[in-house]
Structure 1
Amino acid sequence: MSRSTPRPEPFVSATSAAALNDLRTRLRATRWPDSPADAGWSLGVDVGYLHELVDYWADEFDWAAQESALSRHPRFRVEIGDLNIHFVHARAVSPVGPALPLVLSHGWPDSFWRYSKVVSLLTDPGAHGADPADAFDVIVPDMPGYGYSDRPTGPPLNSIDVAGLWAELMRILGYSRYGAAGGDIGSAVSRYLALDNPESVVAVHRMDAGLPVFTGDRADLSPQEQEFLDSSAAWGSTEGAYAAMHRTKPQTAAVGLTDSPAGLAAWIVEKLRGWTDCDGVIERSFSKDEILTNITLYWLTGTIGSSMRMYNANGSIPSEQHARRVEVPSGFSFFSGDLFARPPRAWLDRVANVVRIKELPRGGHFAPFVEPELYAQELRDFFRPYRKALG
C-alpha cells in the first residue's frame, strides 16, 4: 500500500453511559398520541405495539450486548475524500481457489446491520453446509450519512456519488475485480458501480430494479411494461408518502425524529413490518432486540436526517442516467413480500444485461437479514460462473 493510499483503521464502536441514560429518559417521557379504537396499523404505526416496544427499549433492551455482537466481524474506517467511511471487511475462511471480493450495499432504513447475519455464510460457506469454493471476501460499507460513516456537511450525495466512493474503497483494499450486490438504495448504488466501473465489476446482483423511471413514449413499451409503470405509480400514491417527505422536505421530519426516540421508532418500525412477508405480525420476521438494534444505531449516530437527505439527492439524478443500460452480467432475486412490483422480463432486459432471474417464496425487502441462508445461496449461485474472471 503506497503512502498516498489512505490506510483503513480498525474501528470498534463504544457508547457512553450518558448517551444510554439520555435515551432511556426520553423514552420514559414519551408524549403519546391518541389513536382511534381498533385502528391497528391501518393509519400508520400501531400505537399499542409501539408503546410495548418503547417500554422494552427503556427497561429491558441490552444495547451493550447488541453492540458487541455487531463487532463479531472486522470493522474499519477509512478516509475517502473528505469523508470517513465505516465498513465491514471479512475475508474468506479457508477458500478453495481465489475468493471473490463482494461489496454489499444496504438501503433505507438500515445500514451494515442489513447484512450482519449473512457475512459468515459468505466468507465460510463450508462451515454452513455449502461448497467452500463459493467463499467471498465480504465488504459491507455504511453509506455516507448512515451508521458509523460520516454525515456529509455539504450537499447530500446521490447513488452515483456513493458508487464512486465504493470504487475507491475497493481500490484502497487492493481489489481490481469484484462483484457487487444490493437492495433498495443499495440496488441503485450497485447498478451505478457496474455502469461506471465495468472493467472492475465482474457481475452485479440486485434484489429489485427500483421504482421505474421512464420518460419516453409509452407506446414503445409492451403491455406488461405499461402495467408495471402503472402499478408502481399506484404504490407511490398509497405507500410512498415517506419517500415524498424524504425527497422534498427531509429536514422538517428530521427535527422530530432526531429529538424523539419513540418518533424515530414509529418511522422505522412501520416500514420493517410493511415491507416484510410477516403476515402483519412483525415479530415473525424480527425480534424486539433485532428491531431495536437497527433503530438504536440510527439514534446513537444521529443519522436519520442525513439518511433521508439521500432521497433528495437521488431525486435530482438526470433522466439520462436512469436510461443507461447495465452491460455487466446482471442477476435479480425477487423475494416474496417485498414492496416493489415485479418488473416484467421485457423491462429488465431494457435496463440490464440479464443472465439470471429467480423468484423466491419468502424474505421480503430485508431478505439478507430475515432469510440470510436463502439470500446467501442466491449470491453463491449467481456469482459462481464469474469467479474465473479473477484468474
Structure 2
Amino acid sequence: MKNVTEFRVSVSPEVLNDLKSRLQNTRWPGEADGSGWHFGTSEAYLKELVKYWLTQYDWRKQEAALNQYPQYIADVNGVKVHFQYIKGKGKNPKPLILTHGWPDSYYRFHKIIPLLTEGEQSFDLIIPSIPGFGFSEKASMSSRQVADLWKVLMTENLGYLKFYAAGGDMGMNVVKALASNYPDQVTGIHLTDAGYPMGQEDPATMTEAEKQFAQFVQQWWYSEGAYAMVQSTKPQSLAYGLNDSPAGLAAWMLSFGNAGAPYEIIEQAFGGRDELLTNVMIYWVTQTIATSVRMYKTDALALWGGEKPLQKTRVPAGIAVFPREAQFPREWAERFVHVVSFRNMKEGGHFAALEVPEAFADELRTFFYSLK
C-alpha cells in the first residue's frame, strides 16, 4: 500500500460527556396532537430513543466493533480518505469497493463483511468514507470528484489494476461515474438504484413504465423530498442546528430513513436500534453533518454549472430493486448503464446491507462471480 497509515476509532471522554449533557438538556418543541410521524419525526418516539441513547446505548462497545476490522487513512491526491480494507480468504478474491450514501456511512456495510470475505467466492473489500463523511477529511466534493479519488485509491494507493464497484443512494452516483469515466479499470458494477427522473427527459422517448415511475417520483418528491431540496440549496443554514443538537441530528436523519416506509420499521431499516444510533454517532463525533449535506449542493452546482451528462458506460452492471425502494423499470436503468442482470428482490429497503445482509451479500456474490 502506498501513502496509507493505520487508523482506529477513538473518541475522547470529553466528547461523550458533552453529548450526554446535550441529550439531557434537549429543549423539546412539542408536537401537534395526534400528528404521529405525519409532521416529521415523532417527538414521542424521539424521546424514547434519546432515553435509550442515554441509559442503554454503549458507544465503547460499538467503538470496539468498529475497530474489529482493519482501517486506514490514505492520502489520495492530497485528500485524506478513511477506509476499511478486509482481504478475502479465497484463492483469488475479487477487489470490490463499496460506496455508501446519506444519511448512512461506511457502517452501512458492516454486516456483509464476513459474508463476502469467507469462502472460495470471496472479495477483498474496500469500504471508504466519502470525503466530508465520518472519519475522512472534511472536504465536500461532487460525486464525480469522489469517483476520481476512488480510482486513484484502488489503482495507485492499493495497487489493483482492475476492480469491481457497488453502491446505492449517493454511492450510486459515484459508482456510475467510476464506470463511465474509467471503463478500463472497472470490471463490473452493482447498483440498488439508478437515479430519478428530474423533468429533463423527453416524454416521447420514455416507455409507459418509465412515465409511471416519473409520476411516482414526482409525488414522492412533494411528500418526502424536502430534505434533498434543503440540502441542495441551504445546507449551511441546516447544519448549525444539526451540529449543535444530537437530538436534532437524529430527528433529521430518522425523518429521511423513514421516508416511504411504514413507520414501525424505521429501526429495522437501519438494522436495529443500536445500529441506528451508531450511524448517528459517526456523524456526531466527527462533526461531519455540515460537510455531508453540503455534497448535495456541490452536486447541484455541478449540474447547474453545465456539467456534461455522463456517457452510458459499457461496463457490465447488475441491478437489484428492493421492495421498499423506488420501483424503477429496467429500461430506466438501461439509459445509464449496461444492464446484464436486473433482479426484483423479495425483501428489504433503502439500507438493504443493514436490513437483509444475507440476501444483499448473496446478490453481490452471484452477480460479480457471473462475470467473465
So what's the TM-score if we normalise by structure 1? 0.90
Check if 1:168 corresponds to 2:131: no
For 1:77, the equivalent position in structure 2 comes to: 73
Partner residue of 1:350 out of 327, 335, 338: 335
Maintained 8 Å contact 1:213/1:322: no
For 2:360, the equivalent position in structure 1 comes to: 375
User: Structure 2: how far apart are the matches of 1:320 and 1:304?
Assistant: 26
- Uncovered stretches (5+) of structure 1, i.e. residues with no partner: 127-131
User: Structure 1: how far apart are the matches of 2:357 and 2:22?
Assistant: 34
Q: How many positions carry a matched residue from both structures? A: 368
Partner residue of 1:99 out of 93, 104, 110: 93
User: Structure 1: how far apart are the matches of 2:359 and 2:330?
Assistant: 22
Partner residue of 1:157 out of 128, 141, 149: 141
Check if 1:136 corresponds to 2:149: no
Check if 1:240 corresponds to 2:225: yes
Maintained 8 Å contact 1:76/1:88: yes
One-letter amino acid of the structure 2 residue matched with residue 123 of structure 1: T
Partner residue of 2:5 out of 5, 9, 12: 9
Partner residue of 1:304 out of 289, 307, 310: 289
One-letter amino acid of the structure 1 residue matched with residue 49 of structure 2: L
For 1:190, the equivalent position in structure 2 comes to: 175
Maintained 8 Å contact 1:85/1:141: yes
Maintained 8 Å contact 1:163/1:193: yes
Maintained 8 Å contact 2:268/2:355: no
User: Structure 2: how far apart are the matches of 1:70 and 1:323?
Assistant: 35
For 2:38, the equivalent position in structure 1 comes to: 42
| CA 1:284–1:204: 2 relative to 1, 3 Å | closer
For 2:322, the equivalent position in structure 1 comes to: 335
User: Structure 1: how far apart are the matches of 2:101 and 2:55?
Assistant: 29
Shift of 1:367: 0.3
One-letter amino acid of the structure 2 residue matched with residue 169 of structure 1: L
One-letter amino acid of the structure 1 residue matched with residue 61 of structure 2: A
User: Structure 1: how far apart are the matches of 2:101 and 2:348?
Assistant: 16
Shift of 1:323: 5.3
User: Structure 1: how far apart are the matches of 2:141 and 2:107?
Assistant: 21
For 1:316, the equivalent position in structure 2 comes to: 301
Maintained 8 Å contact 1:102/1:138: yes
For 1:89, the equivalent position in structure 2 comes to: 85
Deviates more, 1:225-234 or 1:360-369: 225-234
Maintained 8 Å contact 1:337/1:365: yes
| CA 1:237–1:274: 2 relative to 1, 3 Å | closer
For 2:49, the equivalent position in structure 1 comes to: 53
Shift of 1:259: 0.2
Query: Could you list the per-position Cα deviations for residues 16-66 of structure 1 after superposition, in whole angstroms to 9, with x for gaps in the alignment?
Result: 111100000000000001111221111110100100111111222110000
Give SS of 2:339's match: strand
Shift of 1:71: 1.2
User: Structure 2: how far apart are the matches of 1:77 and 1:67?
Assistant: 17
User: Structure 2: how far apart are the matches of 1:311 and 1:81?
Assistant: 22
Shift of 1:230: 2.1
Deviates more, 1:306-315 or 1:347-356: 347-356
Query: Could you list the per-position Cα deviations for residues 260-317 of structure 1 after superposition, in whole angstroms to 9, with x for gaps in the alignment?
Result: 0010010112223335x56633234433211110111110000111000000111133
Partner residue of 2:21 out of 19, 22, 25: 25
For 1:64, the equivalent position in structure 2 comes to: 60
Check if 1:385 corresponds to 2:365: no
Maintained 8 Å contact 1:250/1:305: yes
RMSD: 1.6
Query: Could you list the per-position Cα deviations for residues 158-202 of structure 1 after superposition, in whole angstroms to 9, with x for gaps in the alignment?
Result: 100000000000011011111100000001101101111100111
Deviates more, 1:321-330 or 1:20-29: 321-330
Identity %: 40
One-letter amino acid of the structure 2 residue matched with residue 196 of structure 1: N
Maintained 8 Å contact 1:179/1:202: yes
User: Structure 1: how far apart are the matches of 2:52 and 2:82?
Assistant: 29
Shift of 1:365: 0.2
Query: Could you list the per-position Cα deviations for residues 51-88 of structure 1 after superposition, in whole angstroms to 9, with x for gaps in the alignment?
Result: 01111112221100001101111100011123210000
Partner residue of 1:120 out of 102, 107, 114: 114
| CA 1:227–1:320: 2 relative to 1, 3 Å | farther
User: Structure 2: how far apart are the matches of 1:213 and 1:284?
Assistant: 30
For 1:129, the equivalent position in structure 2 comes to: none
- Uncovered stretches (5+) of structure 2, i.e. residues with no partner: none
Shift of 1:217: 2.7
One-letter amino acid of the structure 1 residue matched with residue 55 of structure 2: D
Check if 1:360 corresponds to 2:345: yes
Shift of 1:346: 2.2
Which aligned pairs between 1:189-228 and structure 2 lie closer than 5 A?
Answer: 189-213=174-198, 215-228=200-213
